[in-house]
Amino acid sequence: MASDSRPLVVVGGQIHDDGRARLESEARVIITTEETEEGMMRVAAEADGILFRIRPSCTASLMAACKKLRVVGRHGVGLDSVDIPAATRLGVAVVHAPGSNSQAVAEHALMLMLSCAKRTLPVDRMTRAGDWSVKARTGNTELAGKTLGIVGVGNIGRLVAKFAGALGMRVLGYDKYVPAEELRRRGVEPVASLEALLPQVDVLTCHTPLTPETRGMIDARALGLLKPGAIYINTSRGDVQDERALFEALTRGTVRAAGIDVFEDEPSPLDNPLLNLDNVVASSHVAGVTLEAGRQMALQVAGEMLRVLRGERPQVLVNPEVWSRLGLRG
């Protein structure tokens, strides 16, 4: 029997069936549940491509151990778990699925805003307990007429701006990598700095990647610049915020409420003090996890990986410096 000469792709966890089928149309596919670097090294030692989900991270040592590796795929949008300089040095193409979960995350951010403004969790709890006195002391507020500040006006941020505009909110945006005219086209009034944005907003929502520049960006100083009683939303990365500073702002009442999908440590410890606050709505990093987004994400990154393995240029190549070294077309 002739051996199968198709490239080998190792997938770190289950993906949507349609994405797996796309990979299997041109490659041999192994699905692994290994979550350690050592385990992935063993499974992917002969791999031409690795598709990473949550664990392990795509490190320099892991890629170096996989001698045939040509492409790394990230099942998602964020790239903070991929050592991109090491991939470039090793001649490994890096692809991902930008935009695949934008609708899902933007909807989730809007849900968190509304839940905070309407105090959904305490109202629900009181209603279930037969306590209807909430009508006399609800403290609910409306988003119409309020000012929303968006930090990071990319694929997700522009959708959030559209949703907020439909609610009648004034929308400001800060993104130092997007020109002012483009920000206006994306539905926001541009603001030149984070420091200038914060004092103007009733709701602040973060949609920025995690980089050395954004790590710890929402710290005690930033929270202190917000309007008293502002709402804080984060569906980007947990390390963008200083959780201790956020806890203090929430308990002092300088921040009215927070909707948090991401945490500094994930899974977040059960004794995380933020989880004990009535004015916090929390979710377990699921903003981008919908049936539709899962399918689109898997199909998109699978297609990108196969393009590289065919010797064709992917639509989104994170590290274009590897192009000539890989001898790809296009």
The residues that are catalytic are 237, 266, 285
Which residue in the block uniquely carries the two structure tokens 């892991």? 62
Among 159, 161, 41, which Cα is nearest to 99's?
159
Query: Which string of DSSP letters, residue by residue, matches 250-301?
Result: HHHTSEEEEEES--SSSSPPTT-GGGG-TTEEE--S-TT--HHHHHHHHHHH
Among 257, 250, 194, 249, which Cα is nearest to 224's?
249
Joined tokens for residue 104: 């899902």
As a whole number of angstroms, the distance between CA 216 and CA 195 comes to 14
As a whole number of angstroms, the distance between CA 222 and CA 245 comes to 10
Q: Give the SS3 label for residue 218.
A: strand
